[in-house]
Structure 1
Amino acid sequence: MATSQTETSNHTPPTGASNKLPWSALLALSTAAFIGILTEALPAGVLPEMARDLSVSESAAGQMLTIYAIATGVSAIPLMVATAAWGRKQLLLLAVSVIAVANVVTAISSSYALTMTFRLLAGIAAAAVWAELVGYALRLAPPHLQGRAISITMAGVPLALALGIPVGTFLGNLFGWRLTFGLVAALSVLLLVWISVSVPAAPGQKLGQREPILKALKLPGVVAVLFTVAAWVLAHNVLYTYISTFLDEYGMGGQRDTVLLTFGIASVVSIVITGAMVDRKLRQLTIGSAAFVIIAAIGLGLLASSDLVVYAAIVLWGLGWGGVTTLLQTAVTDAGGTSAQALLVTTWNSFMAGGGAVGGILLASAGPSSFPWAVLALMVPVLLVVVISRKHGFPVKRPSLH
């Protein structure tokens, strides 16, 4: 991947890395992404149980996802500016430490207010993690492998949703949700050791090197990509946050872990395909992914009373969602460089929070059956924007391949 006009020489890969990727470092970064998303989304798989144990409604419990995402979205740009001069590895280690502590508190807390407070702190820490992932991937990889490096680094996001949440749901049903959060905290501690050993130190930026983040909005294609991020993430989280409630509505609550595992397997297939083709087929993959989600929403909206249709729709949803993180991260980096990454983090997490909030409103006002139609209403404009943005945003030929 060619660097855009907003990137700096800080992303030049180290000498000797011209023909290979630093797998250990990239996989450690991917695991950081995995833990960040797992911490954020895990309540979706055990929402009824958490609501019961914390003595709140399922709608209130769903806001544990909302507050985490709001904290990440609101703090991303200020945090990036405030910590620009910090050593990047030290910032990453501090952020993972905060997430670990937040998961310990969640595992032992019986107070909804205390749990929400530490979810907020974990969300702020996650903003620091997201701000570093793509920059590190670009810095560690040679130019001709940067697309693949981003794919490896960001694979932790869909893998957390694809495999982490189903496994967490299974363990939560078997041993209780508190143990699941404790295991995530333990994994975070192991990750701290892994990062310390395998991820190289990287300096912060001097004052004169810093690009104004909002300047990226003026670059062609950035707004189109950010709109796509906003609507797609909102659509996904309206349904995913309350997937347990949706399945209960149609008598499939007992199949929750199986449904999520099916979603996970389909997402992993999507991740593999996207990782292999993103450098050459970003536009086509994005259009296809959006189309899959639209078809899935129609199926769930019309025929959710059929278990077979639900599973087919879940497969399409997983195929459409699995590669989205890589696709949109790559698209925004092509269009706006690393300055646009902070905008993506803010947009992604703000609308992830919006998914929990909008889903809660729909649940209270129209019931779970309204979720697929909300997804459809959001995804049709996404598909139109991607198709229209053939020159900038989602070009027929990526800038790095001209």
Structure 2
Amino acid sequence: MSTTVVTTKMPPGVLSLAVGAFAIGVTEFIVVGILPAIARDLHISIESAGSLVSLYALALAIGTPLLVIGLSRLPRKLALLGLMTVFLAGNLLAALSHTFELLLVGRVITAVAHGTFFAIGATVAANLVPKAQAGRAISVMFAGLTLAMVIGVPLGSFLGNLMGWRLPFFAVAALAALGLAAMARWLPAGLVQGAGGKAATQLAALGSGPILTMMAVTVFGFGGSFAAFTFITPILTDITGFSATMASALLIVFGAATFVGNLGGGYLTSHIGWQKALRLMLLLLAATQVGVALAIGSQWMMVVMLFVWGVFAFGLSPALQAGMLATAERHTPKAVDFASGLNISAFNLGISLGSMLGALMVSRQLMASSPWAGVATSLLALLPLAWLARRRRPAAEEARAAVCER
């Protein structure tokens, strides 16, 4: 009986990683809730302020694979503490900045640590528990990211609009310090370092057609929503007619939906497979964004559509992750970890692409039409997905033939 209790408890090291994940999740998306306040205070246009989202994602996408390789030989605890320290410093710089350029530098510094923290932290979380509980440990760590969307971003947006946009960055820096202290205290010092394989072997994944195709599915499928979501606060206030306070509160609706979406997407992926799950959810996401575009002038309909949108936008994540791992295990088995890092890059390249599309539309006075960009990219993601399905079919037929010959 006592053995069962021990194995079902998460080690404090995993919980310390969740604290860090919460801080990182808040800082990535907090700008969405305080974009108009930043634009007013720094005397820039709303589309220029949107680059704080797109360039953050771009810096993360480029930096993550390189850092995963660069830190592969360091002890895991040292690497994670270093990454969280850089993350903390970037948020302090953002909080103290009085020009757009300095704020942007702070965001880029923060982004450099973000993706690599998750790539390394997930493997550490899995190694802190028995193998049978590895998936649960990773989900506990990533629960910090989900809670950031449900609690951290709406609360930070509310306080940022009420008391100044710098306050959320100071709060995230404090959370990062808490996570840093918790990891220093509870992560074991004897964590094994990374595999440290040859960089050429890892980088070979960049030359794999299936890996690049799976990245394209992630970029277009996940990123399309951010054409509208990057500018969701001005959409809700200037077009739908909500107050800034109500718009911040409505981010709770979207955040709660991402939590439901992650759970539902994981369940669907495990029951019907990642390819079928992606096809279904991409179609539903496209239909949902049509609904958002049509409901954008109605307050009660937008509340409903925000929830449905959040479910399908983030419900894609488990299937996209499973798809990249399955693709890497088949085509680049010696670079699965690096391919996982590439998928993190793909998520953020998608965010960057979506934000840039949204900014382009806003600059042309088409903010109300930005959900249509998400419709187009969601449907576009079905093309590389279909190519992967065709590549997989002959291999499956060969496997069945081999079984029959036996």
* 2:373 aligned partner: 374
Deviations 1:90-132 (A, max 9, x none): 1111111122122222223212121111111111122321331
| Identity value in percent | 26
Does the 8 Å CA contact 2:68/2:338 hold for their aligned counterparts? no
Q: Would you say 1:25 and 2:33 are equivalent positions? A: no
Task: Give the whole-Å Cα distance in 2 for the aligned partners of 1:49 and 1:103.
Answer: 17
SS at match of 1:156: helix
Amino acid at match of 2:84: V
Q: Would you say 1:316 and 2:305 are equivalent positions? A: no
Distance 1:92 1:180, change over 3 A: same
Q: Pick the aligned partner of 1:297 from 262, 277, 289.
A: 289
Does the 8 Å CA contact 1:88/1:204 hold for their aligned counterparts? yes
TM-score (structure 1 length as normaliser) = 0.84
Larger deviation, residues 114-123 vs 268-277: 268-277
Does the 8 Å CA contact 1:158/1:322 hold for their aligned counterparts? no
* 2:359 aligned partner: 360
Q: Pick the aligned partner of 1:91 from 54, 68, 79.
A: 79
Amino acid at match of 2:251: L
Task: Give the whole-Å Cα distance in 1 for the aligned partners of 2:92 and 2:263.
Answer: 33
Residues 322-337 of structure 1 aligned to structure 2 (within 5 Å): 322-336=314-328, 337=336
Does the 8 Å CA contact 1:297/1:376 hold for their aligned counterparts? yes
Q: Would you say 1:151 and 2:139 are equivalent positions? A: yes
Amino acid at match of 2:98: S
Shift of 1:45: 0.3
Larger deviation, residues 112-121 vs 136-145: 136-145
Task: Give the whole-Å Cα distance in 1 for the aligned partners of 2:188 and 2:278.
Answer: 33
Distance 1:46 1:206, change over 3 A: closer
Q: Would you say 1:51 and 2:39 are equivalent positions? A: yes
Deviations 1:278-322 (A, max 9, x none): 544553554443344222211122232122221221111111133
Does the 8 Å CA contact 2:17/2:179 hold for their aligned counterparts? no
Does the 8 Å CA contact 1:270/1:322 hold for their aligned counterparts? yes
Task: Give the whole-Å Cα distance in 1 for the aligned partners of 2:20 and 2:392.
Answer: 27
Does the 8 Å CA contact 2:51/2:356 hold for their aligned counterparts? yes
Q: Would you say 1:127 and 2:115 are equivalent positions? A: yes
SS at match of 1:86: coil
Where does the alignment leave 5 or more consecutive residues of structure 2 unmatched? 329-335, 397-406
* 1:4 aligned partner: none
Q: Would you say 1:266 and 2:265 are equivalent positions? A: no
SS at match of 1:46: helix
Distance 1:142 1:280, change over 3 A: farther
Q: Which is richer in helix?
A: 2
Larger deviation, residues 288-297 vs 169-178: 288-297
Q: Would you say 1:189 and 2:189 are equivalent positions? A: no
Report how many aligned residue pairs link the two structures. Answer: 381
Distance 1:63 1:248, change over 3 A: same
Residues 3-402 of structure 1 aligned to structure 2 (within 5 Å): 20=8, 22-201=10-189, 202-205=191-194, 207-208=196-197, 212-216=201-205, 222-254=211-243, 255-274=246-265, 279-283=270-274, 285-336=277-328, 337-383=336-382, 385-386=384-385, 389=388
Task: Give the whole-Å Cα distance in 2 for the aligned partners of 1:104 and 1:67.
Answer: 18
Distance 1:392 1:39, change over 3 A: farther
Task: Give the whole-Å Cα distance in 2 for the aligned partners of 1:48 and 1:123.
Answer: 21
Task: Give the whole-Å Cα distance in 2 for the aligned partners of 1:141 and 1:217.
Answer: 32
Amino acid at match of 2:301: V
TM-score (structure 2 length as normaliser) = 0.83
Amino acid at match of 1:134: A
Distance 1:57 1:50, change over 3 A: same
Deviations 1:317-340 (A, max 9, x none): 111133433332233223322121
Does the 8 Å CA contact 1:238/1:374 hold for their aligned counterparts? yes
Task: Give the whole-Å Cα distance in 1 for the aligned partners of 2:264 and 2:15.
Answer: 18
SS at match of 2:250: helix
Task: Give the whole-Å Cα distance in 1 for the aligned partners of 2:92 and 2:23.
Answer: 13
Does the 8 Å CA contact 2:11/2:128 hold for their aligned counterparts? no
